[in-house]
Structure 1
Amino acid sequence: MTYQPHAFPVSVKGVVVQHGRVLLLKNERDEWELPGGKLELGEALPERLRVRIAQESGWQVTVGPILDSWQYHIREGVDVLIVTYGAHVDSDAVPTLSGDYPEAALFDESEVACLNMPEPYKRSIADWYGRLRESVR
């Protein structure tokens, strides 16, 4: 029998904080998630993330460091490798919602713990807030 490796998509996601509030999008599963999207063959992860955030929010961002990576088991037969990055936005504009998501919102750090979202997203958000605090010291 020939070895057949498991194949699943890679999705790059960004933790984008504007004036102390993180941008989250509500998906079709009624979960909050970070902006971003699936990587296409041959794309660079930071560039794909920059483009997807612009499409989903109207914000131009500078992509920062990788925060985390994890395999997300969405449901039977649907798994995705998630790679999260920190990202910087220099805009005061309200995010403009694309047609991909029914809702977008900005949340304070203290609100994130109570949201319906995968725990690794919460971990990435906490990590980025911590790094942002360290950078202003």
Structure 2
Amino acid sequence: MEQASSASVETRRPGPVWPVSVKGVLFVGNEIVLLQNERDEWELPGGRLEPGEEPDLCLAREISEELGIDVTVGDLLDCWRYPVLPGKEVLIITFGVQSLPSADLRLSHEHKELGRFPLDQVDGLRMPEGYRRSIRDWARRLALPA
């Protein structure tokens, strides 16, 4: 087996290191559940992946902390890099979450507001386009009315 030369090793640059945020697309009835953050953006419930934690378990934990409910995590929907602030990027991973016919949701201290919105209002909300893409995808998979 051939060893890599020290010259080729020295020219390699390390890959990016970003925090990973796992988010869930959760419908209660035909309404999407969103949380308003400190930047006055609406976001999907979820949060930062901890070292050694599986993404689906992270999402279930975060939704329990943020909304006070237990959920079943479904399909992987999307993954993208989001520039949160200048010079600060986060890798976002979205999953579908089992739709609930009704739920008694509570707002944690982590967010300013809890909202439930019909699909036809999503385009008018201040949020990253990747969240809209995930919401539309999961709604389509669940065959929710547009």
TM-score range, shorter chain: over 0.9
What's 1:58 paired with?
A: 68
Letter in 1 for 2:53: E
Within 5 Å, which residues of 2 pair with 1:12-91? 12-90=22-100
Gaps of 5+ in 1: none
SS of residue matched to 1:101: coil
Letter in 2 for 1:62: T
TM-score by length of 2: 0.87
Say how many residue pairs are matched: 134
SS of residue matched to 2:40: coil
Q: What is the RMSD of the two structures over their aligned residues, measured on CA atoms?
A: 1.4
**Distance in 1 separating the partners of 2:103 and 2:56:** 22
Letter in 2 for 1:131: R
What's 1:133 paired with?
A: 143
Letter in 1 for 2:21: S
**Distance in 2 separating the partners of 1:90 and 1:29:** 28
TM-score by length of 1: 0.93
| Ranges of 4+ aligned residues in structure 1 off by more than 3 Å | none
Identity over aligned residues, as a percent?
46
Gaps of 5+ in 2: 1-9
**Distance in 2 separating the partners of 1:8 and 1:28:** 20
Question: Which has the greater radius of gyration?
Answer: 2
CA displacement, residues 66-105 of structure 1 (integer Å, 9 cap, x when unaligned): 0000000112221000000000144623310000001011
Is 1:99 aligned with 2:109?
Answer: yes
Deviation (angstroms), 1:5: 2.2
